[in-house]
Amino acid sequence: MSDHSDARSRFLRLHDALRTRICMLDYPPGTRLSEETLAAEFGTSRTPLRRVLARLEDEGLVISQHGVGTIVTDVDAEEMARTYDLRRELAGLVGRLSPVPVSDEIIKEAADFLDAGKILLKQPDTRALAELNMDYFHFGTSLTNNLALREMSERLYYRTARIWLTATPRLDLAEETAIFVSELRDSFQALVARDGQAAADVRRAHISLCIARLNRHMA
Amino acid sequence: MSDHSDARSRFLRLHDALRTRICMLDYPPGTRLSEETLAAEFGTSRTPLRRVLARLEDEGLVISQHGVGTIVTDVDAEEMARTYDLRRELAGLVGRLSPVPVSDEIIKEAADFLDAGKILLKQPDTRALAELNMDYFHFGTSLTNNLALREMSERLYYRTARIWLTATPRLDLAEETAIFVSELRDSFQALVARDGQAAADVRRAHISLCIARLNRHMA
DNA sequence: AGAATTCATGTTGTGCACAACCTTTACAGC
DNA sequence: GCTGTAAAGGTTGTGCACAACATGAATTCT
């Protein structure tokens, strides 16, 4: 009943696919996306695809220029730092604005994330880490019933997701994985204690630390 | 050099026009917007207009249904309350995240807003009040250099702007005007003291009070 | 009379052809 | 060799015709 609309579900599918490719650097900044090529790949015409690209442009992931092309945006270090500042604050708000009561289901999910992280420790992989991080982020926003807060957090997340991946080559993958797993562990313990605010604070603190690491390796 | 693109500037113009009409209740919730009629009014074809409507749908102001129409969304009291919660927090953040130094220019603007408010005191008018409030909101967001914070604040503002106007008939116009002018006064004094954080706190407090008034008159 | 059905009407979604535009390249003039 | 210019190729933006769909009214059958 929710996805009865064929057009809407296709739109969401294409949007998600392209957004993931951009955030995972399958399309690095500067890549020119051809409407016709993409339309052919997804088996549709340019018209529906243009709507997807328009939304990606609204979200700041691409920019279309008449006669030139649709180009994946570059990440401006200064603006990304500001965006991270806001993301940090929103992460803290998840614990205060309409937090969902911590259920056994939620604790189970957190445990699963921790297990997945531990596996990654033994076999480090940049992309797998990035994907797990993305899934875990969605789990984090699901801890509030404030829809607007979820929406804004996700919007900002996707805008900054690439910066970490671009910096990764200069960072230590094993170290980054270890740091992430320790966040999962802290978060899990907070949730076991049924303390949603503590879980949000864990997240907030780790975003702060991430900002610091990025600053250190940028300058 | 910024708006050299004809298509983009037209898009922004149409988007702003329709958004204003929706937020000012020229198009009350439930109104069906005809793509063809609007296209004719703005002297273009459906294609560029559809992009505008698509963005309005992303912003949650309308919803398009195949074969039915594009309908102005209704405001859900519960979700609006949550959105106001977030708006309040963001208003406070304006004073903390990359605040712009308070300049003479800014103080002058605040003084102008206060004057305009005083004029409105003698001749109360719902729409004029709403428009002044909208202008003043933009002034408020301009007090931070954090672009993401500005963007999210505006996005949420336009989503909640209608709730106040729909409640106005049940509120006291003269009282609402007086409250708004007192906010302008407090804000002006904070800025004269070159205290941007205080100005943000004034805003934050008034949003809290507005939430309380709306709750009182809803239930 | 009532109910199911068909049809007429109006709406959004899609595909296609063409216009507007930018970039690059080839070429002619100097 | 250099520069200015024009032409070619490729890209996004626009307009239009038609498909897909939902709704309500007219109609027909029971």
CA A88, B142, B90: angle at the middle one, nearest 5? 35
The amino acid that residue A95 corresponds to is G
- Partner residue facing B86 (CB), from A5, A54, A97: A97
pLDDT confidence band for B168 (50 / 70 / 90): confident
What are the structural domains of chain B?
6-72 (1.10.10.10), 77-218 (1.20.120.530)
Which residues lie closer than 8 Å to B7 by C-beta, 6 or more apart? Answer: A66, B48
Interchain proximity B5–A66, CB inside 8 Å: yes
- Is B111's Cβ below 8 Å from some Cβ in A? no
Could you report the predicted ipTM of this complex, rounded to two decimals? 0.94
Residue B108, CA distances (Å) to A58, B186, B195 in order: 33, 15, 15
When pLDDT is averaged across residues A152-164 and rounded to a whole number, the result is 96
| Per-residue model confidence (pLDDT) at position B2 | 43
Interchain proximity B89–A86, CB inside 8 Å: no
Window B:151-180, CB contacts with A under 8 Å: 152, 155-156, 159
pLDDT at residue A1 greater than cutoff 70 = no
pLDDT at residue A10 greater than cutoff 80 = yes
Q: Please provide the average confidence, as pLDDT, over all residues in chain B.
A: 95
Residue pair B113/B183 in contact by the 8 Å Cβ criterion: no
pLDDT confidence band for A160 (50 / 70 / 90): very high
What are the tokens at B160?
């909640």
When pLDDT is averaged across residues B172-184 and rounded to a whole number, the result is 95
- Give the residue from chain A lying closest to B83, CA to CA: A148
For residue A154, the surrounding DSSP H or E stretch is: helix A147-167
pLDDT at residue A75 greater than cutoff 70 = yes
When pLDDT is averaged across residues A120-131 and rounded to a whole number, the result is 96
Secondary structure class of A168 (helix, strand, coil): helix
Helices B173-192 and B196-218: crossing angle in degrees, nearest 10, is 160
Which residues lie closer than 8 Å to B93 by C-beta, 6 or more apart? Answer: A86, A89, B144, B146, B149, B200
Report the C-alpha gap between A48 and A16 in whole angstroms: 14
| Per-residue model confidence (pLDDT) at position A3 | 52
For A69, counting Cβ atoms within 10 Å of its Cβ (0-12 exposed, 13-18 middle, 19+ buried), the class is middle
| Per-residue model confidence (pLDDT) at position B219 | 66
pLDDT at residue A141 greater than cutoff 80 = yes
Phi and psi dihedrals of A17, rounded to 5?
-60, -50
What are the tokens at A65?
């220029």
Chain B nearest CA to A74, separation (Å): 16
Residue nearest to nucleotide C23 (CA to C1'): A68
What positions of strand D are covered by protein, i.e. any atom < 7 Å from a CB?
10-17, 20-23
The amino acid that residue A207 corresponds to is I
Q: In this predicted model, what pLDDT tens digit does every residue of B18-32 receive, in sequence order?
A: 999 999 999 999 999
Q: In this predicted model, what pLDDT tens digit does every residue of A14-70 receive, in sequence order?
A: 999 999 999 999 999 999 999 999 999 999 999 999 999 999 999 999 999 999 999
Residues of B in contact with A149 (CB under 8 A): 82, 86
The CB density around residue A205, as the number of other CB atoms within 10 Å, is 15
Q: In this predicted model, what pLDDT tens digit does every residue of B68-99 receive, in sequence order?
A: 999 999 999 999 999 999 999 999 999 999 99
- Partner residue facing A146 (CB), from B7, B54, B86: B86
